[in-house]
A and B are shown apart, each in its own frame.
Chain A
Amino acid sequence: MDAEITLQVDGEARRLTVDTRTSLLDALRERLGNTSPKKGCDHGQCGACTILLDGERALSCLALAVAHDGAEVTTADGLAPAGELHPVQQAFLEQDAFQCGYCTPGQVCSAVGVIDEFERGWPSHVTEDLTGRPEMTHDEVAERMSGNLCRCAAYVNITPAVQQAGGAR
């Protein structure tokens, strides 16, 4: 069964027809030709498909497109105008926080979401003091970025990149 929906993708209104089984990830990749979010597992286990969905990080392979009619989607490609880079992207580049690059757009979107979550004071599993504002420490960032697998294992560069972009010590 098909359904017609509208998505705001990287600032642009896109009208499209989807199978009601179509994931948001496949809608972006196969219907709209936006392949910035990647498919690594299609089961929400690797994080490569992470996008910002209405401003918060989300696994687009676990979202059905038809359930998000009217939603605002930002992919890594939409974080900065062409020719420019978002501070998170710049930090990833400077810290060499990737190798093959396949998990990277998901890592970048996740990092943007993480920095926002810090700014909003959200605690994580490793936050000791739930009454205060969590600090952007190594352990806090590593914990929050652990839904994004990197098989090249750039983790020791990813965490400092997120801290750098987030302006942490």
Chain B
Amino acid sequence: MTDLLQPRAIGQDLVRRDGEAKVRGTATYAYETPVEHPAFAHPVTATIARGRVTAMDTAAAEALDGVLAVLTPFNAERLASTEDAEYAVLQGQDVGFRGQLIGVVVAETSELAREVADGIAVRYDEQPHDSELSADRPDLYAPAQVNAGHETDTAEGDVAAAMASAEVTLERTYSTAMYHNNPLEPHATTGLWDPAGDGFLTLWDSTQGVHPDRAAVCQVFGLQQEQVRVVCPYVGGGFGSKGLPHANVMLTALAARAVPGRPVKLALTRQQMFFLAGYRTPTIQRMQLAADSRGRLSAIAIDVVEQTSRIKEFAEQTGVPTRMMYASPNRRTTHRLAALDVPIPSWMRAPGECPGMFGPEVAMDELAEELGIDPVELRVRNEPEVDPETGKPWSSRNLVRCLREGAERFGWSGRRAHRDGDWLVGTGVASSVYPTMRQATSTANVRFEDGRYVAEIGAADLGTGAWTILPQITADALGVDVADVDVRIGDTRYPTASVAGGSSGTNTWGSALVVAAREFRTKFGADPRDGDEASGDVDQAAQDDTHSPYAFGAQFVEARVNADTGEIRVPRLLGVFGVGRVINPRTARSQLIGGMTMGLSMALHETSAWDPRIGQVANHDLAEYHITVNADVGEIEAHWIDEHDPYVNAMGSKGIGEIGIVGTAAAVVNAVHAATGVRVRHLPVTLDKLLPALD
């Protein structure tokens, strides 16, 4: 049990502290950092999918007035570490995927940099490439582990035997598409290498973690931590793609070091982001379910096939939620990868859980249909008493309450697929889940300064609300009014903070702030003097390892399909979540509806259409990579139950950035099936998949 804070500021509906700057546009994002006399950089990218750069003709470019530097694999500085192939920018002539960085031009203006970069003639020794994922490739392999350190495969009992003897079985293959994070702010950096000044490499970078960003740069360039400063007060969205630095950060640092003393600005174009900024791998999910006639599962299994890049492995943990979601004595999960000549996949909102709750939650709906059991009821009947994977008791698990309350709010019991004029109407449900994580490293300072309390931590606010909620947590830990607390984040000059990822930011940074605030009170009492300061580490915060901590939720969808055209509309999407204590209902609701809307986007709109002939995403811009727009959205409601979890952390909070996107796409598919009778097992749900079955 942790020593839970008495909530006073926590739970208050406070307007964002960074709101005014954002509605005026005066909040400065990385590229916008006001610096003296900046230069502009533009990348050169490979136009083959596999092979070798044999020559680059840069003489004419270098001679042009206004061109400051042209870096290529043939002249760029040698990096201290080339261990990570993604970060070993311009260190070799090999091309591992189309769009890979092979050069950079630094010039007086952005127009000139771009013109010159695009005009450099490159000669290649092109080799055949292989970039098409399929479940029957002979070269699929089992990675040593999957993302976040999970085991690659798990097995308990005998799934095959259970499948052979069960009253009802279901075997289906589902697939999710390739998705690109596409934060609205492109990946961008302003860099300054100032050997004559403070000796710093300063990077104003768009990142979900200034400290992890710095650590990567230090390793690649062989610099000491004291020599690199990373600053990022605002992040224009990330959704995981800015969780780890990508090659563009290293390229900017290279460019800055080529023009010492001169700040350099580099932003990837939207098109380049489809090659260089990470993405979610497509997944192929073979599901097996076995059940008795009352719907009690006797087996659940998922075998996942997905892709990685040949030059760097990333293994999405898609099978992980199947390990713990429902009770079943026999269970199996496996992950197999194809290493292809493709860009490097990475984190995208709820890696693992988001794609990994698609197949299982559609399969549960198919099983419910087969059994003639209400899909809500089927899930309730398979509620596990303890975590099936670890055997530990739950820190709190309120999936059933979420399902029941959601059903009540949505009007689920009165549901009936029907026709309304030209529209076929149906409803669907799916469960959501996300682990409650706290990172091992984070430190915070609390100081008394000019009559105010100041909290410092190198945290990031990607729109999540950190600027607003960290003062709420600090205020309650100090026992003062939230208006008396300032927070400073987004700079490596503040104490080390973990990445804003895995929905762990608030849990981690908040825990460190609570330790620091309590230490402050212990040291200085209730009447501190100016300059009094205390620090706290998250590793000093109470940690419970005896319970299994997860957030749960249930999402309900009404889908309408036009009987003539197959057009799909979702007028209603409702979620109920058990996410522990909510720090700020305003920012929490925005995160949940944001996740749910991105889930709707995954269900109906998003797909990176891979062209295996040339090895690239064909629709690599925002005109053709469709994301949900305003007119696609009807009513979206996010609710949460009053949940008290004494085991997770001092705030009692579980993390809310990702759970909203988990399960949504399955709920949409299930609703579309109820409306039309068509079961779409391969995302996205588009009208061409429905039309053949409509009269």
Query: Which residues 92-127 of B have a CB within 8 angstroms of A?
Result: 109-112, 115
Report yes or no: A102 in contact with B110, Cβ–Cβ below 8 A: no
Q: Is A76 positioned at the interface, with any CB of B under 8 Å from its CB?
A: yes
- Complex CA–CA separation, A153 to B602 (angstroms): 13
The 16 listed contacts between A and B (C-beta, < 8 Å) are A26-B111, A36-B24, A46-B622, A76-B23, A77-B26, A89-B23, A99-B591, A100-B463, A102-B29, A102-B183, A145-B631, A151-B182, A151-B237, A152-B590, A153-B596, A153-B633
Report yes or no: B593 in contact with A156, Cβ–Cβ below 8 A: yes
Known interface pairs A29-B32, A108-B23. Does A45 touch B623 (Cβ–Cβ under 8 Å)?
yes
CB 8 Å contact bits of A20-52 with B (1 = contact, 0 = none): 011000100110010111111111011010000
Q: Is the interface of A mostly helix, strand, loop or mixed?
A: loop
| Chain B contacts for A41, CB-based, 8 A | 270, 621-622
| Chain A contacts for B586, CB-based, 8 A | 96
- Complex CA–CA separation, A35 to B598 (angstroms): 27
Report yes or no: B183 in contact with A22, Cβ–Cβ below 8 A: no
CB 8 Å contact bits of A136-169 with B (1 = contact, 0 = none): 0001011101101111111111110000000000
Report yes or no: A101 in contact with B463, Cβ–Cβ below 8 A: yes
Residue in contact with A100 in the complex, picked from B115, B184, B629, B631, CB distance below 8 Å: B184
Known interface pairs A36-B26, A104-B22. Does A153 touch B236 (Cβ–Cβ under 8 Å)?
no
Report yes or no: B630 in contact with A158, Cβ–Cβ below 8 A: yes
Q: Is A105 positioned at the interface, with any CB of B under 8 Å from its CB?
A: yes
Q: Is A60 positioned at the interface, with any CB of B under 8 Å from its CB?
A: no
Report yes or no: A156 in contact with B26, Cβ–Cβ below 8 A: no
Report yes or no: B23 in contact with A46, Cβ–Cβ below 8 A: no
Query: Which residues 78-116 of A have a CB within 8 angstroms of B?
Result: 79-80, 85, 89, 92-94, 96, 98-105, 108
- Complex CA–CA separation, A155 to B600 (angstroms): 12
Report yes or no: B239 in contact with A151, Cβ–Cβ below 8 A: yes
CB 8 Å contact bits of B622-651 with A (1 = contact, 0 = none): 110001111111011000000000000000
Residue of chain A at shortest CB distance from B586: A96
| Chain A contacts for B110, CB-based, 8 A | 26, 30
- Complex CA–CA separation, A124 to B269 (angstroms): 31
Report yes or no: B630 in contact with A98, Cβ–Cβ below 8 A: no
Q: Is B45 positioned at the interface, with any CB of A under 8 Å from its CB?
A: no
| Chain A contacts for B182, CB-based, 8 A | 151
| Chain B contacts for A153, CB-based, 8 A | 593-598, 601, 628, 633
- Complex CA–CA separation, A26 to B21 (angstroms): 21
| Chain A contacts for B411, CB-based, 8 A | none
- 4 extra A-B contacts, CB within 8 A, seeds A41-B621, A143-B630, A149-B184: A38-B25, A38-B29, A76-B24, A101-B18
Q: Is B27 positioned at the interface, with any CB of A under 8 Å from its CB?
A: yes
Report yes or no: B270 in contact with A154, Cβ–Cβ below 8 A: no
- Complex CA–CA separation, A25 to B235 (angstroms): 20
Q: How far is the CB of B50 from chain A (nearest CB, A)?
A: 28
Report yes or no: B270 in contact with A145, Cβ–Cβ below 8 A: no
Report yes or no: B25 in contact with A156, Cβ–Cβ below 8 A: no
Residue of chain B at shortest CB distance from A30: B110
Report yes or no: A40 in contact with B235, Cβ–Cβ below 8 A: no
List 5 A-B pairs, minimum CB-CB distance, nearest first: A36-B25, A99-B463, A102-B236, A101-B22, A100-B463
Between A39, A142, A152, the greatest number of chain B beta carbons within 10 A of the residue's beta carbon is seen for A152
- Using a CB–CB distance below 8 Å, which chain A residues touch chain B? 19, 21-22, 26, 29-30, 33, 35-43, 45-46, 48, 75-77, 79-80, 85, 89, 92-94, 96, 98-105, 108, 126, 139, 141-143, 145-146, 148-159
Known interface pairs A36-B26, A42-B270, A45-B623. Does A102 touch B237 (Cβ–Cβ under 8 Å)?
yes
Residue in contact with A77 in the complex, picked from B24, B596, B601, B633, CB distance below 8 Å: B24
| Chain B contacts for A96, CB-based, 8 A | 15-16, 586-587, 589-590
Q: How far is the CB of A93 from chain B (nearest CB, A)?
A: 5
Between B270, B463, B628, the greatest number of chain A beta carbons within 10 A of the residue's beta carbon is seen for B463
| Chain A contacts for B237, CB-based, 8 A | 99-100, 102, 151-152
Q: How far is the CB of A121 from chain B (nearest CB, A)?
A: 21
Report yes or no: A156 in contact with B185, Cβ–Cβ below 8 A: no
Report yes or no: A30 in contact with B630, Cβ–Cβ below 8 A: no
- Complex CA–CA separation, A98 to B591 (angstroms): 10
Report yes or no: B622 in contact with A149, Cβ–Cβ below 8 A: yes
| Chain A contacts for B623, CB-based, 8 A | 43, 45
Known interface pairs A19-B111, A43-B621, A99-B594. Does A151 touch B627 (Cβ–Cβ under 8 Å)?
yes
- Complex CA–CA separation, A30 to B41 (angstroms): 13
- Complex CA–CA separation, A98 to B27 (angstroms): 13
Residue of chain B at shortest CB distance from A88: B23
- Complex CA–CA separation, A105 to B590 (angstroms): 18
Q: Is B3 positioned at the interface, with any CB of A under 8 Å from its CB?
A: no
Report yes or no: B184 in contact with A40, Cβ–Cβ below 8 A: yes
Residue in contact with B184 in the complex, picked from A21, A103, A141, CB distance below 8 Å: A103
Report yes or no: B629 in contact with A149, Cβ–Cβ below 8 A: yes
Report yes or no: A98 in contact with B463, Cβ–Cβ below 8 A: yes
| Chain A contacts for B629, CB-based, 8 A | 146, 149, 155
Known interface pairs A43-B622, A99-B464, A101-B234. Does A85 touch B590 (Cβ–Cβ under 8 Å)?
no
Residue in contact with A151 in the complex, picked from B34, B184, B234, B589, CB distance below 8 Å: B184
Residue of chain B at shortest CB distance from A35: B32
Between A40, A141, A154, the greatest number of chain B beta carbons within 10 A of the residue's beta carbon is seen for A40
Between A96, A143, A151, the greatest number of chain B beta carbons within 10 A of the residue's beta carbon is seen for A151
Q: How far is the CB of A105 from chain B (nearest CB, A)?
A: 3
CB 8 Å contact bits of B1-40 with A (1 = contact, 0 = none): 0000000000000011011111111111101101000001
- Complex CA–CA separation, A85 to B236 (angstroms): 22
| Chain A contacts for B22, CB-based, 8 A | 98, 101, 104-105
Report yes or no: A105 in contact with B622, Cβ–Cβ below 8 A: no
Report yes or no: A100 in contact with B183, Cβ–Cβ below 8 A: yes
Q: How far is the CB of A74 from chain B (nearest CB, A)?
A: 11
- Complex CA–CA separation, A75 to B24 (angstroms): 8
Residue of chain A at shortest CB distance from B206: A102
- Complex CA–CA separation, A85 to B22 (angstroms): 11
- Complex CA–CA separation, A84 to B641 (angstroms): 37
Report yes or no: B24 in contact with A159, Cβ–Cβ below 8 A: no
Residue of chain B at shortest CB distance from A153: B597
- Complex CA–CA separation, A101 to B631 (angstroms): 20
Report yes or no: B184 in contact with A46, Cβ–Cβ below 8 A: yes
Report yes or no: B630 in contact with A142, Cβ–Cβ below 8 A: yes
- Complex CA–CA separation, A104 to B632 (angstroms): 19
| Chain A contacts for B627, CB-based, 8 A | 149, 151
Q: Is B290 positioned at the interface, with any CB of A under 8 Å from its CB?
A: no
| Chain A contacts for B185, CB-based, 8 A | 38, 40, 100, 102
| Chain A contacts for B590, CB-based, 8 A | 96, 99, 152, 154, 157
Q: How far is the CB of A58 from chain B (nearest CB, A)?
A: 16
- Complex CA–CA separation, A152 to B234 (angstroms): 14
- Complex CA–CA separation, A139 to B569 (angstroms): 13
| Chain A contacts for B632, CB-based, 8 A | 146
| Chain A contacts for B615, CB-based, 8 A | none
| Chain A contacts for B29, CB-based, 8 A | 35, 38, 102
CB 8 Å contact bits of B458-479 with A (1 = contact, 0 = none): 0000111100000000000000
| Chain B contacts for A150, CB-based, 8 A | 184, 630
